[in-house]
Amino acid sequence: MNSKILVTGGNGRFATVLKKENKKLNLVFASKKQCNILNLKSIESAVRAFKPKIILHCAGLSRPMDIHYKNIKKSIDINIIGTANITKVCEANKIKLIYFSTGYVYEGKKGNYSEHDSVKPFNNYGLSKLGGECAVSMYSNSLILRITMTEKPFLYKTAYTNLKSNFMFHEQLVKILPELIKKKGIINVGGPSQSVYNFAKKTNPKVIKSYAKERPNFPLNQTMDLKKLKKIITW
């Protein structure tokens, strides 16, 4: 694909892997200094400089999860207002927008959530990403990817046996991204539904089993329906 793609959050965790592993896409990476998503003029300047056909909006605030409670202003500014700013500039310049959202926009209780299910984020991080989705959804030339991904190998010493999710590694997303960016709308993106422990032990065989207690902001079946994804990609 020859279309130039501008990646926001160019020094972030996923962007770092994307730089290393990408073999197909025509990517340019913008640092915060080059494209400050809280400053419309900065975004417009980056668009003039790089002349992208697509913006891959990876810049965002994620971990640690408690930052979205301790510093609500920062969470709102980066994940909601920053995404709204990117959307405004994309719409004004007729640039396709691809937004990295999260599976945390779903309630996380019954599992197997499809893209058509109601959204009800179970924590402030999910709420902040849903706020970004609201802006992106207003722009028809857009794609929202509800992604559940993490670093490889699994980072933690323990993993839950009773928490189900669709974790995938950054490297796996890089491989399927060229097929996904052709689409519009909303797509759930992740790996097979399984316990976090089963996912973790594949790359961290020393990981220790642990048991999670269900809480209002920590539901235990966060799995998504991936039928739409499986129709698009070839693993």
Quick check: bond before 153 cis, omega within 30? yes
Q: Which residues contact 44 (CB under 8 A, 6 or more apart)?
A: 89
Query: Which pTM value belongs to this model?
Result: 0.97
Q: Which residues contact 174 (CB under 8 A, 6 or more apart)?
A: 17, 18, 21, 22
Q: How far apart are CA 87 and CA 7, in angstroms?
A: 14
Return the pLDDT at 2: 77
Return the pLDDT at 139: 98
The domain spans of the chain are 4-153+166-192+223-232
Residue with tokens 């003029």: 41
Task: Please tell me the number of Cα atoms within 13 Å of 82 on its side-chain side.
Answer: 24
Q: Considering the chain, what percentage of its residues have pLDDT values greater than 90?
A: 96
Question: Which pair of tokens denotes residue 29?
Answer: 């990476």
Residue type, position 147, single letter: I
Q: How far apart are CA 211 and CA 124, in angstroms?
A: 23
103-140 pLDDT, tens per residue? 999 999 999 999 999 999 999 999 999 999 999 999 99
Could you tell me which of 17, 21, 16 has the C-alpha nearest to residue 31? 16
DSSP type of residue 122: S
167-212 pLDDT, tens per residue? 999 999 999 999 999 999 999 999 999 999 999 999 999 999 999 9
Q: State yes or no: pLDDT of 1 exceeds 70.
A: no
Q: How far apart are CA 158 and CA 70, in angstroms?
A: 25
Q: How far apart are CA 150 and CA 152, in angstroms?
A: 7
Mean pLDDT value across the chain: 96
Q: State yes or no: pLDDT of 57 exceeds 90.
A: yes
Q: Is residue 210 within 8 Å of residue 157, measured between CB atoms?
A: no
Q: State yes or no: pLDDT of 235 exceeds 70.
A: no
Q: How far apart are CA 101 and CA 128, in angstroms?
A: 9
Q: How far apart are CA 91 and CA 202, in angstroms?
A: 42
127 versus 2: which is more confidently predicted? 127
The CA-atom distances, in angstroms, between 86 and each of 74, 184, 232 are 17, 17, 26
Architecture of the structural domain at 4-153+166-192+223-232: 3-Layer(aba) Sandwich (3.40)
Return the pLDDT at 216: 85
Q: Considering the chain, what percentage of its residues have pLDDT values greater than 70?
A: 99
